[in-house]
C-alpha cells in the first residue's frame, strides 16, 4: 500500500501516459512457450486429480 505522496506520483504518471497516448500494449510481446504452458496445465490437472483420489481412499 503506497502512501499519499506515492499515490500522487502514480496519478501523475498515469496522466503522463495518457498524454503520450500510451496504453502499455504497444511493445511487441515476449514469446512465451505455449506448448510448455499446455503441459503445465495438464500436469497440474493430473496432480490435483491424483491428490483428490488419494484423499478419498484415505492415503
Partner 1 sequence: MSRIVQILESLHYGDAISNHAIAIHKALVDRGVDSAIFAKNIDSRVRQYAHAYDVYQEHADDVIMYHLSIGSDMNREIVKYRCKKVINYHNVTPWEFFVPYNAYMAQLCRKGREDAEFLADKVDMAISDSAYNSFELEKTGFHCPMHSIPIVMDYSDYEKRPDPTVVEEFSKDITNIVFVGRIAPNKKHEDVIRDFYYYTKHFNPNSRLILVGNYNNFESYYLKLKAYVRKLGLKNVIFTGHIQFSEMLAYYRTADVLLCESEHEGFCVPMVEGMYFDIPVVAYDSTAVGETLGKGGILLPEKNSALAAAVIDQVVRDETLRQEIRIHQKERLEFFNPDKVVKHFVQVLTEDNN
Residues in contact with partner 1 by CB under 8 A are: 1-3, 5-6, 9-10, 12-14, 16-17, 20, 22-24, 26-28, 30-33, 36-37, 39-40, 43-44, 47
Shortest distance, position 56 Cβ to partner 1, whole Å: 17
Report d(CA 20, CA 25) in Å as an integer.
13
| For the chain, counts of helices (H) and of strands (E) | 2, 0
State which residue, 14 or 49, has the beta carbon closest to partner 1.
14
Q: How far apart are CA 12 and CA 47, in angstroms?
A: 46
* Shortest distance, position 57 Cβ to partner 1, whole Å: 17
Q: Which residue has the cell 488419494?
A: 54
Amino acid at each position: 500500500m503506497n502512501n499519499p505522496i506515492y499515490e500522487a506520483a502514480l496519478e501523475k504518471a498515469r496522466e503522463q501516459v495518457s498524454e503520450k497516448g500510451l496504453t502499455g500494449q504497444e511493445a511487441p510481446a515476449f514469446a512465451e512457450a505455449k506448448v510448455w504452458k499446455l503441459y503445465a496445465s495438464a500436469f497440474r490437472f493430473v496432480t490435483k486429480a491424483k491428490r483428490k483420489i488419494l484423499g478419498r481412499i484415505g492415503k
